[in-house]
Amino acid sequence: MSGAEICVGVDGGGTRSRAIALDLDGRERGRAEGQHALVRDTTVQHAAAVVAKLVGDVAVAAGSSLPVTRLVAGLAGAGRPAVSAAVRAAIEPMGVAREVEVLSDAEVAFHDAFGTGSGILLLGGTGSMALGRSADGRTARAGGWGDPLGDEGGGWALGMAALRVVARSADGRAPATELTTRLLATLGLSDPSDLIRWTAGADKSEVAGLAPLVLEAAESGDAVAAGLADEATRELADTVEAVRRALEPWPEPPVVAAAGGLVGVGGPLRSRLERALEDTPVRVAPDMVLPVRGAARRALEAVWHAS
């Protein structure tokens, strides 16, 4: 098989990245994983390099060679046109694909969930945002402002909330919480004051990695952790509601597809989110959403439409 015979989709999140290769008949030929590809103004070259390596790795897994026919990369932080254009411009000279398209991670997740149809996609992983499209083609989004302006309900925000509440608890400004013991043990620290140094040197993915500890503590009955989990759930539900209102009227209650490590199928906030949305005019889709699959399908469909 030559490189001209596969299309590649990449999903680059704040914690890790994934790639899938499809042949021109739509059959999966290979997968690969790599480090995070979160895009900021200062990380464009890093994100491009991560994507390029993933394309090379998945081409090897597919028994193919470079350049591939078409690459679609859905990257966290690439929602603004200027940012996506900058990442695309950085990838193209690397020669890994004949055609390159860069979108946000939410856009490729939406494509996997709805294709060209209507609905609302909630992304809750390291960050958070909602993206919607109405039956008449209008679009709206909410959230996705990144840190420090947003990402409410996402893993980074939840991890930061846990760090702050442990600090307040150490001062006596908040109740004692099991989170103190859990965080210190996980991070190999001996005293809450050590969190100052750790937090100063931690990247977004490391902070987001604390979110599961919050949810584990909440499930074990810790009231402070449960409060943080409830607040995160409210933020995510509010993000969905903002998009629903922006796209009114709906001919029928819109379907909400949830993706990401926190709210995807089996995610630790999934059941809380479903309960929070029970009394709102939406329907939560039971199916798993795979942004990387959406990216690969978008790449393949573009090739089909061009032929």
Tell me the average pLDDT across 158-169. Answer: 96
Concatenating the DSSP letter of every residue in 124-135 gives: ESSSEEEEEE-T
- The answer on pLDDT for 230 being more than 70 is yes
Answer left, alpha or beta for residue 95, where phi above 0 means left and psi between -120 and 50 means alpha.
left
Q: Which residues form the domain of 70?
A: 3-110+291-306
Structure pTM?
0.85
User: Domain for residue 194, yes or no?
Assistant: no
For residue 1, how many other CB atoms are within 10 A of its CB?
13
Residue recorded with tokens 């009227």:
249
Pairing of strands 119-124, 68-75: unpaired
Do 210 and 179 meet the contact criterion of CB atoms below 8 Å apart?
Answer: no
For the chain, how many structural domains are there in total? 1
User: Domain for residue 51, yes or no?
Assistant: yes
User: Domain for residue 75, yes or no?
Assistant: yes
**pLDDT attached to residue 4:** 55
User: Domain for residue 192, yes or no?
Assistant: no
**pLDDT attached to residue 233:** 96
User: Domain for residue 8, yes or no?
Assistant: yes
In angstroms, the CA 297 to CA 115 distance is: 9
What is the H or E stretch that residue 84 is in? helix 81-91
pLDDT per residue as tens digits for the range 261-301: 899 999 999 999 999 999 899 999 998 999 999 999 999 99
User: Domain for residue 191, yes or no?
Assistant: no
**pLDDT attached to residue 245:** 96
Strand order in the sheet with 139-143: 139-143, 128-133, 119-124, 255-259, 283-284
**pLDDT attached to residue 1:** 41
CATH value at residue 33 = 3.30.420.40
User: Domain for residue 76, yes or no?
Assistant: yes
Hey, what are 300's tokens?
């393949």
**pLDDT band at residue 226 using 50, 70 and 90 as cut-offs:** very high
User: Domain for residue 16, yes or no?
Assistant: yes
Q: Of 77, 73, 76, give the one whose Cα is nearest residue 260.
A: 76
